[in-house]
A and B are shown apart, each in its own frame.
Chain A
């Protein structure tokens, strides 16, 4: 190996430091991975593009204010009225019931799994919980209609007529149960990522488990926990099958959870699968409601990202 050494210092020997061949495989892999990353972005853009023209058409005939503040929704009737409030009320009410169930239960489950459970218990319980997230929503919907609603009617202790056959309450409760695994699993991931050293520091100061969980782990994992909430709420707002089956198809602005009511998603699914002609004006109402739903979830996500940035405790 004397030859390279004998060359002057400026030389690099027989082997150049320059790249011998272009690395095509590397570039191909990079391109493929980038395409994979772009698919979801492209889909979102595609949805927005698809929503805009029919929505614009719709608002040329129906005023924006009339749409947003109207209290009667009879879009598919002979003499239609386009007030979206009943659909919005049903969506918010059912989502509210679902979130009221899912956030405490989901967060509680996450804290239990991450801070209290024996490792063996966690190993068993977490996958079980995640299996729940894989149950098709149509099964949940049927469960709400065929099991929960009759039980509610039988046991209704508050007098009055009790829940109707289709009602917001049972749809909301079951939807809450449906999103518990999502929230619990993601929140647990966030808490498990909090460094052990922080817990040790808190325990060494004479904290009990509850204090460590509430004062140290949850604040440190807050951004992940809120992300879990947001994903859960987004699933609830967008959920269609449960509300279609268990909450019904009658727009109702009563805010009474015992009533049958139609959510925005249930209207879209019902109208789109009905016999509405694609050329008709009724068809465009679907897009208007869809666009409104899109804007609502988008705004909610933006607000929650802001909130998280403001309140989270960054470790490392």
Chain B
């Protein structure tokens, strides 16, 4: 019970910090590019209007950056304190990308940021523009390393476990860097940041239109943001499709939870809209299987026939496994090398995981006793069963199921809001073309309301990715439970409260300064 509470609190703290950090990062990344586009117009046309426009959005960028900067470091504090088993176990694989990111960010921030903010009239126009573009690209390169580290946790490759050090050691840097999950995640996340910044620019500009102020500034800002946002959103959707494809191959349980799908069929449908039956509880599968079987998975379900099969395998009749199918195994699937495989039941994987853990214990004992033969034997067993290592920590098969309602609703909220933003960008471009942007109050209000919606959308995406992969910190290799340190629950609870207070103050400070600057307007 104490452990469960420590796990929940540590997860809550990590989630709180990461989600707070993610309030700031996307706007910084996306706005950097929009500012660079505006400044490019300034350099090309020599029209002072664009300089004034770019400078205003730079102020918004600076406020957001100042409040958000270094909040991500708190996550690194937590690795050492709350997740020390994990941070040791991942070895240099996690450390190397984070170190590259840290060094890169430092040099970037101390040089090009300074030119961007202090360099007006001190360096040439072109040098200033180059700095602005370098800041924009620098922010996405920073994101790249973080996402590579995260992708490795979702799809661990390019490493070998060393039982002497209890660490996963990097043996193929390029395999980690070019992991299909990492590349997809990078494109999906960065273009998502572009969409967020575009919606924020459209929303703030619409506020000026609503107030009948800064007409030209607002219309031109909206024009750039709507086109940039729509192009980015198309890439978000394309990479989201790629994400689903990879999740189906590497994390099928996450996909099953995203769809709230317990039992599947050939030609698997996709849920376009649904409400889950709250009485369908997977933990009953082992304790009261009859009650479990009697409950339908959905109260309301509008599905597209064969949609999921088409999405994840580009074929109409593919079998996409549901939660129970994955637990029971026995279905056939095509592995990463294109070979047909029969899925192993979770109980079988649990046995192999226990063997892997016992082999590690045997290895340790043999090493202490100086028994070379024993070491060899244990190592061979460990290597053979290492792909199932994490299953050794699983107590019962249903423990590998993430929280279905949270994953399901987050996924569908994200998708529905994604659809809404296509309409928003399309409508904005249409109104701009027809020179109607200033006319409709309802549009201005819709655009302003879209700002919180775009943040809900991106946070929902993060929840799908991170809650959906539970109970793993490293897919199939390490569970969240086994990743924990021996820190006390009360210490974690104290810091959770402290973070909550600190973050609330920071957010209030950001919003206060932001509203003040927006109120003054670009003319100030």
The answer to whether A and B belong to the same complex is no
